[in-house]
Amino acid sequence: MAVATTALVIGSSLTAYGAYYDIYGNISQENIDTDAFGDRPGKVEGALNIMIIGSDVRSGDNGDYGKAEGERPDSLIIAHISPNQDGATLINLPRDSMVNLPACEANGDKPGMAAQYGMVNSAMTFGGVQCQWKAVEQTTGIHIDHFISLDFTGFKGMVDSIGGVEMCIPSAVDDDKAHLVLEAGKQVLDGEQSLGYMRSRYGQGDGSDLSRIDRQQDFLGAMLRKVTSGEIMSSPASIYGFLGSVTDSITTDDELTLDKMTDIAISMREVDMGNIQFVTVPNGQDPADPNRVAWTQPDADRLFQAIANDTEIAEKDDDKEKEEKDDSAADDSVSAVPAEQVAVEVLNGSGVDGRGSEVADALGAKGFQITGTGNPAEGTVPAKTTVYYGSGQESHAKSVAAELKTAIVEENPLLAGSTTVQLVIAADWDGIKGGGGALPSSVEGKTAEATEDVCG
């Protein structure tokens, strides 16, 4: 929402920008002591990961939606913004997910908690946003840069400020718990109806949180299309109303400054809706409780690794992948070797700290055996990123090079007799191809451009 908000301002007049600067002070901010987390996942330079919390807090105006102890995420999303891939991916973490939660210290009126196996969203109840942030990082391996929390009342105001969102309702809905009654068919939902639609669980589909997430993704796609439409972008009054509804009702970390929001907006304003993707963590029924879900492995970790390493995420097409491999084999006298059979040492000569570990993790996620990381000896860094190999290992080196956007292969007599190839990253490093970051078959994704409209 912060991205969409600032994108509106950057795309409009300086007057609107000035108005935004004035109401920026309305945002509640919270200090998050990430140093207390201990070891954290590595950060990829340029990429940004924001934890989005749809809060179910019932205090104040939100008390109209029932009573509940404490506060927890009703929805929990990691928004991954990737300048390298020119797009964004929003990953839903089902609130019913059972994971190994880390220990959290007491925080204000929150009692803290011991390490335990529990629902992913329970961390916020015991230790606030700081504990939830730590839990998301440690269970996914994804470095979180910022958080944004939005409550029920704020969400309603945001929808009303843009004149509602058009949705297709496949069948009539009557859900007392979500305060929602809708007729079937295409219609514009106001803020109250939109909140009910986003919260509704038992009155639609199979009553599961997973089917609700699917509908939420459709709604967010429709809302993004509306927010970025010419009608909204060209109206200072609509922009100001949208900004006001957002800033009055969101909480962020105190490191998410105006300048950083503006930087995000600049990087996202030209992104096509087809490059904004919604996915849900691969999951299945938790063996210990049929009412809970567990993340499916190794598919969930493959998804998390792709996000953590900022590699391309695209729908996996096994037939196309096989055809490309076949074509490659036909044009090359050296047969490809499966990643699982290739041992790789990664040496970082790019001059960018941490890049060797990031590349090693990304190649490991693709199945390669990583034997070690380090730096090349002084004076031995090649001009171009190179995969070196010993006698009989050329096919292994080419398998590694095939996964890189820019790389050459070269035999090195010093590796004679070794079954390990050596990747030396040079200053021309241009990243890893998206093959290993492809969505596993168990991951269902949709883009903001192609969210479902069963009304036609």
Mean pLDDT along residues 359-386:
90
- For residues 14 and 150, state if they share a domain: yes
- For residues 7 and 130, state if they share a domain: yes
452 within some domain = no
Comparison of pLDDT for 20 and 348, the residue scoring more: 348
Joined tokens for residue 347: 């040496």
Quick check: 333 pLDDT over 80?
no
Helical pair 191-199 and 209-227, crossing angle rounded to 10 deg: 150
Joined tokens for residue 56: 């179910």
- For residues 242 and 120, state if they share a domain: yes
Buried b / exposed e across 338-351, counting CB within 10 Å, b at 16+? ebeebbbbbbbbbe
- Which of 172, 170, 177, 223 is closest to 201 using CA atoms? 177
- For residues 61 and 200, state if they share a domain: yes
CATH number of the domain where residue 429 is located: 3.30.70.2390
155 within some domain = yes
455 within some domain = no
Render pLDDT for 87-139 as a digit per residue (tens, 0 to 9): 888 999 999 899 999 999 998 889 999 999 999 999 999 999 999 999 999 99
Q: Which amino acid is at 238?
A: S
- For residues 402 and 387, state if they share a domain: yes
- For residues 188 and 230, state if they share a domain: yes
Q: How far apart are CA 108 and CA 4, in angstroms?
A: 32
Render pLDDT for 253-267 as a digit per residue (tens, 0 to 9): 999 887 787 777 666
- For residues 53 and 163, state if they share a domain: yes
Comparison of pLDDT for 234 and 179, the residue scoring more: 179
- For residues 416 and 292, state if they share a domain: no
Task: State the Cα angle at 365 between 360 and 371, rounded to 5°.
Answer: 40
Contact 450, 325 (CB under 8 A): no
- For residues 122 and 259, state if they share a domain: yes
For 235-341, where are the E strands, in sequence order?
Answer: 250-253, 276-280, 283-286, 289-295
The per-residue pLDDT for 44 is 87
456 within some domain = no
- For residues 289 and 329, state if they share a domain: no
228 within some domain = yes
Mean pLDDT along residues 6-15:
49
Q: Which residues pair with 294 in a beta bridge?
A: 284
- For residues 300 and 324, state if they share a domain: no
Domain that holds residue 426: 319-433
Q: Kind of pairing, strands 343-348 and 420-425?
A: parallel
Q: Give the count of domains, the chain.
A: 2
Q: How far apart are CA 110 and CA 22, in angstroms?
A: 33
Tally of CB atoms within 10 A around 62: 18
454 within some domain = no
CATH number of the domain where residue 44 is located: 3.40.630.190
Task: Give the helix/strand (H/E) hosting 370.
Answer: strand 369-374
- What is the Cα 406 distance to its own chain's centre? 26
Quick check: 329 pLDDT over 60?
no
Render pLDDT for 61-73 as a digit per residue (tens, 0 to 9): 544 444 445 567 8
The per-residue pLDDT for 52 is 92
189 within some domain = yes
- What is the Cα 251 distance to its own chain's centre? 19
Q: Which amino acid is at 164?
A: G
The confidence band for 156, taking pLDDT boundaries of 50, 70 and 90, is confident
Summary count for the chain: helices (H), strands (E): 13, 21
- For residues 261 and 329, state if they share a domain: no
204 within some domain = yes
Question: Within a 13 Å sphere around the CA of 85, how many CA atoms are in the beta-carbon half?
Answer: 26
Average pLDDT over the chain reads 80
For 356-435, where are the E strands, in sequence order?
Answer: 369-374, 386-389, 408-411, 420-425
Render pLDDT for 24-34 as a digit per residue (tens, 0 to 9): 777 889 999 99
The per-residue pLDDT for 442 is 58
Helices (H), 24-174: 122-140, 152-161
